[in-house]
Structure 1
């Protein structure tokens, strides 16, 4: 097929030979082309400068994104009982939280902001208000009555554990549970509510797929080794013992890692000293999520799967490792901020892989629901421990330089709303 060029070189192309251009016409043509290039640059520049993390170099080749005619995210129903509870704003809530660090002894120290001396306590006095409906506060007694005789597991990373502890503290206001298992480092802990015969577990699986930071596969300790096609053995064998599972992950994928498929290295993320192809964590995260959903389908799981979305951080004035902090004391308004950059990329990957799984709904018998906490979390820069992840960090020097935690959440606080959202989904199954 012949390509037709409006301005073909002399002697090429179809049709009559074009006449010679005058100097004025030539300058006009050049100016037009300059304008096109400048216009393109103006359009692309925001995307270029906004990139905070490298694009996976082989993402397009290995896992092409959906085309416009194959937008699987349209399969996702974000309404719960007829309302989108995920989009809204935070409004004042004078009653405060359902528990405190004195009424719940189960909070880990690095999330116990009151104990550690945080001077402002306003972060505990906000309530989530969806734009077009109401989200009921978490009713711990009603929840325990619904799940009596059942077994739940939160499976994921330290954010999953953060949510688990919030959940546990709320339930403990109704009945103090018995600890039936602890691995000694609080990564895997099991609790039992005797009156309701209800078990609640936290299972440590920061990538959801098989991983190790120890020396292995010929690579030194300190860099993660991820088998993207193998589900983590910390939760795979026990899957069928749970009636409900809450899956979440994401932030750990930013760590330097080497990736394996079928026990062969396929690339890495941030490994400049290794002779490997940089494929990036976006590629790894997409493949890992696909592995997890494939496993759930092939295992013929018959319970309920809650898939919680990505958790944004709120570091300002730097990163976590070079002075970044989070000093805000009130929430953002939804009209003033939106998802962008890496957070948006990870969220998009989640929605696409979740949507692809929904499209396969005839292949599985479990119930799959999204718990889309990302939007409410984005609006809470005030909800993190900041420097108060440690006990009284400024007791000896009010100007001390302290590493901030702007990723995890103070308890009680904003993360308690995730439980209200989760229960609302549960009651509308």
Structure 2
């Protein structure tokens, strides 16, 4: 009693003081209770894991616990069965947590996204994390759903990964993706169809998109292996192959369509349509009814860049100071003449022969075309004259070979298109005559060519031909006198009969280039005619000369032929160009007589290069495009 009294407070005991004395005990018991509760929860959690269906099922279970999104994978109901009921709870504490198998480093969503859409787009979940069946022959429905076009929820972003090769108890792995290969689309883009990637890429499908499953690596028996995108439209653009997303259904479909057209047709459809419309406009246009306009993008090749130009035509090298004559382009009134593209023309001529037959004006045109085409090839050492010649006067024929294209551009000298010959006169000596009944001697060499451009005209203005005395011959008969127009008609008739008899129109195309206007003032070519002061084309059409009577004869002959011949009537277009002749700049070295009277010796019939003949070749180029188009239409 006395011992108990020692512990009784002096002031007397109260209820509060008694409770305080027991507080340490209560505090200790609460700790014990919490510890027991934690142990119980841990044991229950361990038991749950121990009795899960298979080791492979644990993976999606963990992923869904720590996933903040309520997404459904492309495996549909399979992944739904593993969706965690605790994910909303954990998302409050671990909003940015992610599984090690999730795609990392994606760019953050655009600032205009709402918090709801941001949370759904922050985490990308693999659709193949669900358990794979142990045998490939009995595929479950969950692996076939992506091929049936399952559409994800409207506020969801899904990564569709390629399905791994089938193997028992093997966990599907998501390919590794780096941030630069994915471009986020703004949420305003709706109803898109995802782009198809290569088998080692993943596809990002935006809100309201249709899911397109990636190609499956291995197709097993009884396996659904028909992807949504068919092989005919599965080709992707370069940006898609790099892992980028094409924004917009229309953009994707248009791009894929154009790409497939490029691969199937070998050409861009837009370019083809543009070319077709251009050719049709040329077909309905008189290419030689037009005017000369200045175009600073001309000439077609840099002056002095072509060493093949004969000295007689190389005006710049011969000291001509003005260059505006090189800047003129021929423009038809009702269409646009295409600029001569040497690479296109060479491809058109691949494996073929293009031959010029005629006088030195056709040599002028031939050299122009050789220079244009030579300027368009990469290796100009593969362009050469077949016999190694470097000067193109004095021989009967020349041929430039374009080795990479297996084609040749040739020239045969035949100023009259009929034979020049010699016959004995009454005194036993020989005199020159022109056989109006025999075609040129070189005709057998070019009759099989694919394209032949004929011309004649200028030599019929010389003294012998214009006077026609004891010069024209048929058979053994030499005319004492024959009108030049009649002789011209006879010669062209002989030529026309040869063409009809020897040219195969299914293989060869025949052209005839008309008379090229001369501009001698104060005399003719051999009597002091001049044009050295001319630096501008004629603008007023009233100053143009009448159409040459010889060309009227030519037209009548052409109309009577069986073989179709395209007439390049360049007479009017050249009549404007009094500024384009070599004039006094026809050669570098002058004779003593020429030095004393340089103005008396001028060339006002040939043309400087670059210059007017380049436009003739542009007209020829347009005609060849038309012929090619017509041939394709016949085959179609």
TM over 0.5: yes
What is the aligned counterpart of 1:294 among 491, 494, 497? Answer: 497
Equivalent in the alignment of 1:369: 566
Cα distance in structure 2, aligned partners of 1:400 and 1:355: 45
Question: Which moves more between the two structures, 410-419 or 328-337?
Answer: 328-337
Say whether the 8 Å CA contact 1:225–1:259 is kept in structure 2: yes
Q: 1:102 to 1:222 in 2, by over 3 A?
A: farther
8 A contact 1:89–1:334 mirrored in 2: no
Aligned counterpart, 2:602? 404
Deviation of 1:260 after TM superposition, in Å, equals 1.0
The within-5 A match list for 1:200-219 is 200-212=409-421, 215-218=422-425
Select 1:381's aligned residue among 557, 578, 598.
578
* 1:328 corresponding residue in structure 2: 534
Rounded Cα–Cα distance in structure 2 between residues aligned with 1:121 and 1:392 = 22
* Matching residue within 472, 475, 490 for 1:259: 472
Is the partner of 2:612 in helix, strand or coil? coil
How far did residue 339 of structure 1 move? 3.5
Which of 130, 133, 151 lines up with 2:335 in the alignment? 133
Residue 324 (structure 1) shift: 0.8
Q: Distance in 1 between matches of 2:579 and 2:323?
A: 10
Contact in 2 for aligned 1:150/1:198 (Cα 8 Å): yes
Find the counterpart in structure 1 of residue 439 from structure 2: 231
Greater relative contact order structure (CA < 8 Å, 6+ sep): 1
Using the alignment, how far apart are the partners of 2:429 and 2:323 within structure 1?
41
Which residue does the alignment assign to 2:449?
A: 242
Which residue number in structure 2 is paired with residue 118 of structure 1?
320
Displacement after TM superposition at 1:195 (Å): 0.8
- Change beyond 3 A, Cα 1:84–1:247: same
SS of the residue 2:438 aligns to: strand
Aligned match of 1:86: 288
* Higher CA-based Rg: 2
Aligned to 2:611: 413
Matched position secondary structure for 1:369: strand
TM-aligned CA deviation for residue 122 of structure 1: 1.1
1:331-370, aligned counterparts within 5 Å?
Answer: 331-333=537-539, 335-340=541-546, 344-357=548-561, 361=562, 364=563, 367-370=564-567
Offset, 1:334: 5.7
Cα contact 2:423–2:430 (8 A) shared by 1: no
User: How far did residue 338 of structure 1 move?
Assistant: 3.4
Partner residue, 2:253: none
Number of the residue aligned with 1:311: 516
Aligned-residue offset at 1:101: 3.9
Displacement after TM superposition at 1:143 (Å): 0.4
1:179 paired to 2:397: no
Give distance in 1, aligned partners of 2:491 and 2:417. Answer: 8
Distance 1:123 1:300, change over 3 A: closer
How far, CA to CA, are the matches of 1:217 and 1:398 in structure 2? 40
2:407 pairs with one of 187, 198, 219: 198
The superposition leaves residues 301-357 of structure 1 with CA deviations (integer Å, 9 ceiling, x where unpaired) of: 3311011111111101111122110121111126333342xx521121111111222
Residue 106 in structure 1 maps to residue 308 in structure 2: yes
Alpha-carbon shift at residue 420 of structure 1 (Å)? 0.2
CA offsets, 1:130-173, max 9 Å, x none?
A: 11211112111110011101011100010010110001000010
Runs of 4+ that moved beyond 4 A = 219-224, 392-400
Change (3 A) 1:399 1:242: closer
Deviates more, 1:391-400 or 1:125-134: 391-400
SS, match of residue 411 in structure 2:
strand
CA–CA separation in structure 1 for the residues paired with 2:595 and 2:437: 49
Give 1:218 deviation, angstroms: 2.5
Cα shift readout 1:243-279 (whole Å, capped 9, x = no counterpart): 11000011111230411112211x2xxxxxxxx22x2
User: Structure 1 residue 240: deviation in Å?
Assistant: 3.3
Partner Cα separation in structure 1 for residue 429 and residue 590 of structure 2: 31
How many pairs align?
Answer: 329
Q: Counterparts of 1:244 and 1:110 in 2: how far apart (Å)?
A: 26
Check the 8 A contact 2:282/2:335 in 1, yes or no: no
> What does the per-residue CA deviation read over 1:54-88, in whole Å, with 9 as the maximum and x for residues that have no partner?
xxxxxxxxxxxxxxxxxxxxxxxxx9510001011
Q: Please list every run of 5 or more consecutive structure 2 residues that lacks an aligned counterpart in the other structure.
A: 1-280, 466-470, 628-636
Which has more strand, going by share of residues?
A: 1
Q: Report the Cα offset of residue 375 of structure 1.
A: 1.3
Give the drift of 1:371: 1.2
The alpha-carbon deviation at position 300 of structure 1 amounts to 4.6
User: Is the alpha carbon distance of 1:380 and 1:174 closer, same or farther for their aligned partners in structure 2, counting shifts above 3 Å?
Assistant: same
TM-score normalized by structure 1? Answer: 0.72
Q: Is the 8 A contact 1:239 1:301 kept in 2?
A: no
Gaps of 5+ in 1: 1-78, 268-275
